[in-house]
Amino acid sequence: MAVTSSAEAPHGMRDWWLRAALVLQHPRPVFVALRDTSSESLADRSEPVLAIILLGGIAYALSTGTAGHLMDDTQYDGLLVAVWAFIAGSLTGILGYFLIGAFVWAASKLLGSQGSYRRSRHVVAFAAVPIVLSLVLLPFRLALYGEDIFRTGGSDAGAGDRIFELLFAAFVVWSIALLVVGIRAVHGWTWARALAASAMALGIPAVLAAVIELH
């Protein structure tokens, strides 16, 4: 019996890594699988969830205005920017995971959900996969503008910067759409109910993010 359990563990974890990619194409079965709250399932998906929230946080941090002028400080070089992106991004990802997860859980609870806070956090994590995918934009930005993307008034200023901002926004919208799908799938709700929960959950974080960005 012990041999069977140890053999199944890697298989279960591999399934959740595959689901992290599958959520971009066929999201519903991925979110339905989150209904399984057994200790084995929770353990199997812990590593993919951690990777998603850290990489998603890094992607978000690199999209902010703060990242856009890091090299205005002459002490910053490529290595320090990478360190900043990892630390700031990881903290942002973890904060967003717990905070948005709490709002999703609370909003769902108000609309009749019996699901746990942990499951709500996992829905948020898998919905954030498109934000992780937005990291593919970084090599293109670096190839076009080099370190200027981290300087005020660099060669990326103007139309180029706006284009990449719009592309990143498209990934964010994709994540929001996945959140709606996820809430609907994991609870078996109607679209209207899932949309209401998503709107309630994202309203306050959106305002907070806008305020932070303005400062």
136-166 confidence digits (pLDDT tens): 999 999 999 888 889 888 777 778 789 999 9
Let me know: does 48 contact 17? Beta carbons within 8 Å.
yes
Place of tokens 């998503």: 198
Token representation of residue 28: 């519903």
pLDDT category, 60, cuts 50, 70, 90? Answer: very high
Share of the chain above pLDDT 70, in %: 93
What is the C-alpha separation between 10 and 5, in angstroms, rounded? 9
Amino acid at site 47: E
| Range with lowest mean pLDDT among 30-34, 108-112, 155-159, 190-194 | 155-159
Residue 13 to residues 25, 32, 126, 184, Cα–Cα distance (Å): 20, 16, 15, 24
Write down the residue that tokens 């703060």 correspond to: 66
Structure tokens at 141: 């930005």
Nearest to 119 by CA among 201, 37, 214, 12: 37
Give me the DSSP letters along 196-207. HHHHHHHHHHHH
Q: For 68, how many CA atoms within 13 A lie in the half-sphere containing its CB?
A: 16
| C-alpha span between 43 and 45 (Å, rounded) | 6
| Spatial separation of the C-alpha atoms in residues 203 and 214, rounded to whole Å | 17
Give the global pTM.
0.90
User: Which of 65, 58, 72, 63 is closest to 212 using CA atoms?
Assistant: 65
